[in-house]
C-alpha cells in the first residue's frame, strides 16, 4: 500500500488528465445509453477505483487522508452529485463492498497479536470502561438536550425519549475498524497510539454487541409501555457472539492449514471466501465481521502462518480500501445530509467532545504515556457499518419514528466518517509515529504500494 511513496507533480497531473478523460467518456456513455439503463456495476467499480486513487494522490499534497479522499471521490461520482454511478450500480456493488470489508476484517484480526493485547491490557481495560460507559450515557444526555431540534422526538413521551436516547448512546460507541486499518495502512504508523487504537477498535465490536443487547432489553419497555421485560435479546446475543466466534475459529484453523499444506492461490481463496461466506453468514444470522476478525486472529496467534497470511492480504494493496470507501461515499445521501447537517453536526461534535473527555479520564487512570494522554481519542471518532446496522434495527422495530431516527443516524455517521480519518492521521503525524516508521522502514512501503 502506498504508505511512503511520494509522487511528483507531473505524474499527478497526468493522473488528473486521465481521470478527466474517463469522466468525459462516462458522461458520453450515460448520454448514449437508452433511458432507464444506468451505469453497469463493472464500469462503476472501475471508475471508482481510478477516481478514488487519483483523488487520494492529489489531496495527499494537502495532508488529506486517503480514506477521506476515497469517500469524497465516491460522493462526487455518486447518484446525488455527478450521477456517473447511479443507484442501481451502487446496489449491485453491495457484494463487492461486503467482500472488501471481510478482507479488511481478516487483516485486522491478523494484526491483533497477543503480545500487543498484553502490552496494552491496562490501557484497554480503562478505555473500554470509560469510553463505552461515559460515551453511552453522555450521548444519551446530549440526545435528550437536543430534543427541540429533533422533530421525531417531540412526540415521544418522557420514558420513550429516555429509551431512544439510550439506543442512540449505544450507537455512538460504535467505531470503524475499516477506517482505523485504512489510516494505519497509509501511514504505516508504529507506536503506542497506533497499537492502542488498533487493539481497542478491533475488540470493541464485541463490547458493543453485548451492550446493545442490554440496552434493548431496558429500552423496549420504555419506548413501548406494556411491552414485557424479556431476556430474549440475551439469547440472541449468545447465538450471535458464541456462534460467530466458533465459526471464525474454525475458519481460521482451516485457513492456517491451507497455508501450511497448500499455500497456493491464497489471494483467490480469500476473495472466494469473502464473497461466499458473507452471504451464508447473513442467512445464519451470525456477525460476519466478528467471524472474519476471529479468523484472522486465530491464524496469527494459534498458528505459525500469520506473516504469510498478512502478506497475502497485502497483495490486494490499497484496492480493498478504495473499493470500500469509494462505494460508501457513492452511497451517502447528500440531500439528506444537507437537510440534517446542523443537528448531525451538533450530535457529532457532542460525541467527539465526550470521546475526548472519556479518553483523558482513561489515560489518567491507566497512567498512559504522553502520546496516549493527548491523542488516545483521535482514532475513535470514525463510524461505519455497525452504527448503521443499529439504526436499521430501530427503523424496522419502531416504524412510528424509525425512519427519522435512521435518517439522522446516516447523516451523523457520514460526518464522523469524513472527519474521523483526518483526526487520526493528524494525531499519528503529531506524535511522530507515522513519519518515524516511514523514515526507518522505506523498503516495505515501496514493495507493497499499488
pLDDT truncated to tens, each residue of the chain (450 aa)?
Answer: 344 455 666 777 777 787 788 788 777 777 766 655 556 788 888 888 888 888 888 888 887 888 888 988 888 888 888 888 888 888 888 888 888 888 888 888 888 888 888 888 899 999 999 999 999 999 999 999 998 888 888 888 899 999 999 999 999 999 988 889 889 888 888 899 999 999 999 888 778 888 888 888 888 888 887 766 666 667 777 777 888 889 899 999 999 999 988 888 888 888 888 877 777 776 666 777 788 889 999 999 999 888 888 888 877 777 888 888 888 888 877 887 788 888 989 999 999 999 999 999 999 999 999 989 999 999 999 987 778 778 877 877 788 788 888 888 888 988 898 899 999 999 999 999 986 444 433 433 333 333
Write the secondary structure of 371-429 as one string of H (helix), E (strand) and C (coil).
Answer: HHHHHCCHHHCCCCHHHHHHHHHHHHHCCCCHHHHHHHHHHHHHHHHHHHHHHHHHHHH
pLDDT at position 397:
79
Query: Does 189 share its domain with 273?
Result: yes
pLDDT at position 8:
67
**Can you tell me the distance from the alpha carbon of 348 to that of 381, in angstroms, rounded to the nearest whole number?**
9
pLDDT at position 390:
80
Query: Does 41 share its domain with 157?
Result: no
Those residues with Cβ within 8 angstroms of residue 303's Cβ, 6 or more apart along the chain or in another chain:
252, 253, 256, 259, 260
**Can you tell me the distance from the alpha carbon of 243 to that of 223, in angstroms, rounded to the nearest whole number?**
30
Residue 254 lies in a domain: yes
Query: Does 39 share its domain with 171?
Result: no
Range of the domain at 15: 9-94
**Can you tell me the distance from the alpha carbon of 276 to that of 273, in angstroms, rounded to the nearest whole number?**
5
Query: Does 273 share its domain with 381?
Result: yes
- Extract the C-alpha cell encoding 364: 489518567
Given 79, 94, 109, the domain boundary residue is 94
Residue 390 lies in a domain: yes
Residue 3 lies in a domain: no
pLDDT at position 442:
40
Residue 85 near residue 41, CB atoms below 8 Å: no
Query: Does 131 share its domain with 55?
Result: no
Query: Does 259 share its domain with 216?
Result: yes
Query: Does 308 share its domain with 401?
Result: yes
Residue 176 near residue 383, CB atoms below 8 Å: yes
Handedness of CA 220, 224, 230, 233 (dihedral sign): negative
pLDDT at position 392:
78
Residue 147 DSSP symbol: G
**Can you tell me the distance from the alpha carbon of 69 to that of 318, in angstroms, rounded to the nearest whole number?**
13
Residue 1 lies in a domain: no
Given 60, 75, 94, the domain boundary residue is 94
Query: Does 193 share its domain with 54?
Result: no
Given 68, 94, 120, the domain boundary residue is 94
- Which CATH number fits the domain that encloses residue 177? 1.20.1530.20
Query: Does 40 share its domain with 113?
Result: no
- If one counts the domains in the chain, the total is 2
Those residues with Cβ within 8 angstroms of residue 274's Cβ, 6 or more apart along the chain or in another chain:
98, 99, 100, 102, 103, 106, 292
Query: Does 205 share its domain with 339?
Result: yes
Of 357, 415, 412, the closest CA to residue 390 belongs to 412
Residue 2 lies in a domain: no
Query: Does 79 share its domain with 104?
Result: no
Buried residues in 63-90 as b, exposed as e (16+ CB within 10 A): ebbbbbbbbbbbbbbbbbeeebbbebbb
Query: Does 118 share its domain with 42?
Result: no
Residue 4 lies in a domain: no
Residue 292 lies in a domain: yes
Three-class SS state of 1: coil
pLDDT at position 373:
92
CA distances from 120 to 175, 178, 196, 333 (A): 18, 21, 6, 38
Amino acid at each position: 500500500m502506498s504508505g511512503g511513496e511520494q509522487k511528483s507533480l507531473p505524474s499527478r497531473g497526468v493522473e488528473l488528465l486521465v481521470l478527466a478523460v474517463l469522466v468525459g467518456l462516462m458522461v458520453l456513455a450515460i448520454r448514449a445509453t437508452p433511458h432507464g439503463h444506468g451505469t453497469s456495476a463493472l464500469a462503476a467499480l472501475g471508475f471508482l477505483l481510478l477516481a478514488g486513487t487519483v483523488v487520494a494522490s492529489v489531496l495527499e499534497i494537502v495532508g488529506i487522508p486517503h480514506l477521506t479522499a476515497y469517500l469524497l471521490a465516491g460522493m462526487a461520482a455518486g447518484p446525488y452529485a455527478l450521477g456517473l454511478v447511479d443507484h442501481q450500480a451502487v446496489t449491485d456493488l453491495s457484494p463487492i463492498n461486503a467482500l472488501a470489508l471481510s478482507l479488511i476484517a481478516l487483516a485486522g484480526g491478523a494484526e491483533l497479536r497477543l503480545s500487543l493485547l498484553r502490552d496494552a491490557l491496562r490501557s484497554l481495560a480503562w478505555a473500554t470502561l470509560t469510553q463505552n460507559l461515559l460515551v453511552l450515557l453522555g450521548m444519551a444526555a446530549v440526545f435528550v438536550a437536543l430534543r427541540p431540534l429533533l422533530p421525531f422526538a417531540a412526540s415521544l413521551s418522557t420514558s420513550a425519549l429516555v429509551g431512544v436516547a439510550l439506543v442512540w448512546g449505544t450507537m455512538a460507541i460504535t467505531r470503524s475498524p475499516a477506517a482505523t486499518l485504512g489510516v494505519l495502512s497509509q501511514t504505516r504508523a508504529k507506536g503506542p497510539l497506533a497499537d492502542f487504537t488498533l487493539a481497542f477498535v478491533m475488540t470493541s465490536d464485541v463490547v458493543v454487541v453485548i451492550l446493545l443487547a442490554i440496552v434493548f432489553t431496558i429500552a423496549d419497555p420504555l419506548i413501548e409501555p406494556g411491552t414485557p421485560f424479556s431476556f430474549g435479546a440475551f439469547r440472541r446475543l449468545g447465538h450471535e457472539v458464541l456462534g460467530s466466534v466458533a465459526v471464525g475459529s474454525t475458519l481460521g484453523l482451516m485457513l492456517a492449514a491451507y497455508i501450511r499444506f497448500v499455500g497456493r492461490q491464497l489471494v483467490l481463496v480469500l476473495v472466494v471466501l469473502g464473497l461466499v461466506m458473507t452471504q451464508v453468514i447473513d442467512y445464519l444470522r451470525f456477525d460476519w465481521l466478528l467471524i472474519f476478525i476471529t479468523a484472522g486472529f486465530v491464524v496469527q496467534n494459534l498458528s505459525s502462518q500469520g506473516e504469510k497470511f498478512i502478506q497475502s492480504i497485502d497483495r490486494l494493496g490499497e484496492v480493498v480500501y478504495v473499493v470500500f470507501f469509494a462505494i460508501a461515499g457513492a452511497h451517502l445521501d447528500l440531500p439528506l445530509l444537507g437537510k440534517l447537517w446542523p443537528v448531525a453536526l451538533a450530535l457529532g461534535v457532542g460525541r467527539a467532545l465526550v470521546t475526548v473527555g472519556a479518553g483523558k479520564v482513561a489515560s489518567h487512570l491507566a497512567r498512559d504515556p504522553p502520546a496516549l494522554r493527548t491523542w488516545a481519542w483521535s482514532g475513535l471518532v470514525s463510524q461505519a457499518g455497525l452504527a448503521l446496522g443499529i439504526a436499521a434495527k430501530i427503523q424496522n422495530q419502531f416504524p412510528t419514528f424509525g425512519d427519522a431516527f435512521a435518517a439522522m443516524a446516516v447523516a451523523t455517521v457520514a460526518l464522523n466518517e469524513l472527519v474521523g480519518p483526518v483526526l487520526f492521521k493528524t494525531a499519528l503525524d503529531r506524535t511522530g509515529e507515522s513519519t518515524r516508521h516511514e523514515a526507518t522502514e522505506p523498503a516495505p512501503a515501496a514493495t507493497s504500494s499499488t
